[in-house]
Amino acid sequence: MEPIQPSGCGCTKPDNGHAAGTTQNMSPGKAAFFGLIGFALWYVVYKQLEPFSHFFAYSLLGLERESHFGEAIQFFIYDTPKVMMLLTLVVFVIGMLRSFFTQERTRKYLAGKRETAGNVMAALLGIVTPFCSCSAVPLFLGFVQAGVPLGVTFSFLIAAPMVNEIALILLYGLLGWKIAALYLGTGLLIAILAGWVIGRFKLEHWIEDWVQELRAAEAVVIEEKPSWADRIERGREAVRDIVGKVWIYVVAGIAVGALIHGYVPETLMASIMGKDAWWSVPAAVVVGIPMYSNAAGIVPVVEALLGKGAALGTVLAFMMSVIALSLPEMVILRKVLKPKLIAVFIAVVGTGILFTGFLFNMVI
Amino acid sequence: MEIKVCGPGCPSCEQAQKIVEAAVAATGVKATITKVTDFQEIAKLGIFSTPAVVVDGGVKCVGRVPKQAEIEGWIR
């Protein structure tokens, strides 16, 4: 999800190629064929990145292998194209996938689900359904109208911003698959559990009254059948849009990472955000709520904090608090939820994040 | 003719508005274009994802920015 800008929201410009049959038609077989060739090429280039970075730093520039500067340069030359390539691939695939998961379809699907199973499905769908913070309210209204249980709706609303594909890929690229997997797993778990808990509280009467009346309303559904060419176009648009917007953060983040990698002693943050400072987890959550950054902006910060000796649980809690609980989103949701329900939402999700922070500080 | 562009005012809604204006200008159709930003009003139209374009009471597209050629097709 993109951040809400003061002037409205920062949704990526959506789906210009949405109209069915606008581009030349391509059979699924042909599309798959070109896709495979494209992926093979991608993979070949990807595999050359590490040897190339060594060649560049140590042979071409003639830097010392063990030197700070040499290591920093090699890291930067390796990581920048690596992360950019991963980002492009993932954004493209997700962009294409999203043409299968429209909001209408998600809504219809979840309307027939019971709680618990519904919470799990909603959290998973929250990752792939196209969504941005300014459409949070219409989406919420649509869910209520379709009769999706409140707790299930919340699972979706929590997972959609919390588990972000760009954050996931950056974490993988910069910090390795274990931390990426932890982020994905705990993010989903919090969304599922928090939604389930909110469902248990039976707080439907804390939705604004005018929203309740919508249950009688009829949703307009315009079914569109995009062709394969349309889906591919959708993926390309996502790449143009998202990669075009976040590359600068990525490069800056890797540059910071490279400096840390080469120079910074690993104990700087240990006293403030280390394992021993128990209060640092709640502090990180509280500091994170009013902050709002997009995922691309926060990951380099995470990397920097970890690099300087901050504890993983504390950093993870900080990151989740920044992207999942944001003040601008609360202001928007206030239009459809009574303040009490917003308070419960913040409390439940905040508790989940706190718990995650403590758990990882304890276990790792 | 009456055209409504529904959306809370995010960049894609602004874009939809501009494209609708361009389409109206290109076809020379006489139409009033109104912006609907109130969630309640949008929901009453049965629209639950934005931006959306409504032409003379009929919802033409939901949850995306339409192409100019499409809009010209709807209003011609």
Residues A56-69, mean pLDDT to the nearest whole number: 83
Quote the CA–CA distance of A70 and A83 in Å, as a whole number: 20
Rounded to the nearest angstrom, the gap between the alpha carbon of residue A242 and the centroid of all alpha carbons in its chain is 12
**Strand order of the sheet with strand B52-55?**
B32-36, B2-6, B52-55, B58-62
Quote the CA–CA distance of A108 and A289 in Å, as a whole number: 32
Average pLDDT, chain B: 88
* Residues in chain B closer than 8 A to A138 (CB atoms): 8, 39, 42-43, 47-50
Taking a contact as any Cβ pair under 8 Å apart, which residues of chain A between 97 and 116 contact chain B?
A: 102-104, 107
Which pLDDT value is given to residue B55? 92
More confident residue, A61 or A130: A61
Cβ <8 Å between B8 and A18: no
Cβ distance A84 to A120 under 8 Å?
Answer: no
Quote the CA–CA distance of B58 and B3 in Å, as a whole number: 9
Residue linked to tokens 């690099």: A307
Cβ distance A151 to A110 under 8 Å?
Answer: no
In which domain, by residue range, is A63 found?
28-363
Cβ <8 Å between B62 and A221: yes
Interface predicted TM-score (ipTM)? 0.77
Quote the CA–CA distance of A143 and A147 in Å, as a whole number: 6
Among B8, B22, B39, CA closest to B75? B22
Using the predicted structure, report yes or no on whether residue A262 has a pLDDT greater than 80.
no
Cβ distance A119 to A155 under 8 Å?
Answer: yes
For B46, the closest of A102, A220, A336 (CB atoms) is A220
Lowest mean pLDDT among A54-68, A175-189, A261-275: A261-275
Residues A292-307, mean pLDDT to the nearest whole number: 74
Cβ distance A116 to A149 under 8 Å?
Answer: no
Instruction: List residues bridging with B32 in a β-sheet.
Output: B2
Which pLDDT value is given to residue A26? 67
Question: Dihedrals φ, ψ of B58, to 5°?
Answer: -100, 125
Quote the CA–CA distance of A324 and A319 in Å, as a whole number: 8
Largest CA distance in chain A: 72
Residues B9-25, mean pLDDT to the nearest whole number: 87
Cβ distance A308 to A266 under 8 Å?
Answer: yes
* Residues in chain B closer than 8 A to A104 (CB atoms): 49, 62-63
Taking a contact as any Cβ pair under 8 Å apart, which residues of chain B between 31 and 70 contact chain A?
A: 39-40, 42-50, 59-67, 70
Residues A270-274, mean pLDDT to the nearest whole number: 69
A14 in a structural domain:
no
Positive or negative, the Cα torsion across A130, A131, A134, A135? positive
Using the predicted structure, report yes or no on whether residue A44 has a pLDDT greater than 50.
yes
Quote the CA–CA distance of A306 and A297 in Å, as a whole number: 15
- A1 has a chain B CB within 8 A of its CB: no
Give the pairing of strands B2-6 and B52-55: antiparallel
A157 in a structural domain:
yes
Å from B24 to nearest chain A CA?
19
Establish, for the pair of chains A and B, how many residue pairs have beta carbons separated by less than 8 Å.
95
- B22 has a chain A CB within 8 A of its CB: no
Alpha helices in chain B (DSSP H): 11-27, 39-44, 68-75
Buried b (16+ CB within 10 A) or exposed e, A164-179: bbbbbbbbbbbbeeeb
Question: Dihedrals φ, ψ of B35, to 5°?
Answer: -105, 130
Angle at B46 between CA B40 and CA B52, to 5 degrees: 85
Which pLDDT value is given to residue A17? 39
A332 in a structural domain:
yes
Element spanning B56, H or E: none
pTM for the whole structure: 0.78
A338 in a structural domain:
yes
Confidence of residue A78 (pLDDT cuts 50, 70, 90): confident
Positive or negative, the Cα torsion across A151, A155, A156, A162? positive
Quote the CA–CA distance of A209 and A214 in Å, as a whole number: 9
More confident residue, A23 or B54: B54
Amino acid making up residue A230: D
Domain-wise residue ranges, chain B: 1-32+64-76
- B3 has a chain A CB within 8 A of its CB: no
A23 in a structural domain:
no
Question: Dihedrals φ, ψ of A265, to 5°?
Answer: -65, 150
Confidence of residue A266 (pLDDT cuts 50, 70, 90): low
Confidence of residue A362 (pLDDT cuts 50, 70, 90): confident
Cβ distance A144 to A107 under 8 Å?
Answer: no
Residues A190-198, mean pLDDT to the nearest whole number: 93
Number of domains comprising chain A:
1
Cβ distance B64 to B10 under 8 Å?
Answer: no
- A157 has a chain B CB within 8 A of its CB: no
